[in-house]
Amino acid sequence: MRGKPAPKRDIEGDAKYNDKNIAKFINYVMERGKKSVAEKIVYNAFNILKEKTKQDPRHIFNKAIKKVSPLVEVRGKRVGGANYQVPFQVRGERRYFLGCNWIIKAANDRKGRATAEKLATEILDASNGEGTAVKKREAVHKMAEANKAFAHFSR
């Protein structure tokens, strides 16, 4: 590795809720640098959540992220000519990233509605412990459980 690693930038809270996690989520939703479009999508999704549940959308969002974020994941490791899927514990930042990413991908895979509606539905499903993003987490956990025998290769 050449030089020093880039310093970690501190992110500011979003415009409406002043929450760093929501600001990061908006950045993950953003495509081609169009942040205002991403903000509209996320805030519209939060408004839909508020109408459907009559609760604070931040609470539902945080609950959904908690239920979707993985605790362990598998990474390929080559040992003596063989590739093993070795389970590793997931760091906090990566957990949040994976959870957000899975929710966004699951929402984009839904068909026939506006992006904000699809995102709101996926967040609501995830907070209830169902939906595609939660299935993805369970699949990752199952894979890690199945390869628990190779955990001693984790160094």
pLDDT band at 154 (very low <50, low <70, confident <90, very high): confident
One-letter identity of residue 8: K
CATH 1.10.455.10 given to domain 20-153 = yes
pLDDT band at 37 (very low <50, low <70, confident <90, very high): very high
Residue with tokens 């809720």: 17
Integer Cα distance of 31 and 133 in angstroms: 20
Q: pLDDT per residue over 56-99, tens digit each?
A: 999 999 999 999 999 999 999 898 899 988 999 999 899 999 99
Q: Is 91:60 a contact under the CB 8 Å cutoff?
A: no
Task: Please count the CA atoms within 13 angstroms of the CA of 113 that sit on its side-chain side.
Answer: 14
The answer on pLDDT for 155 being more than 80 is no
State residue 121's pLDDT score. 96
Domain edges within the chain: 20-153
Q: Is 50:57 a contact under the CB 8 Å cutoff?
A: yes
Integer Cα distance of 68 and 93 in angstroms: 14
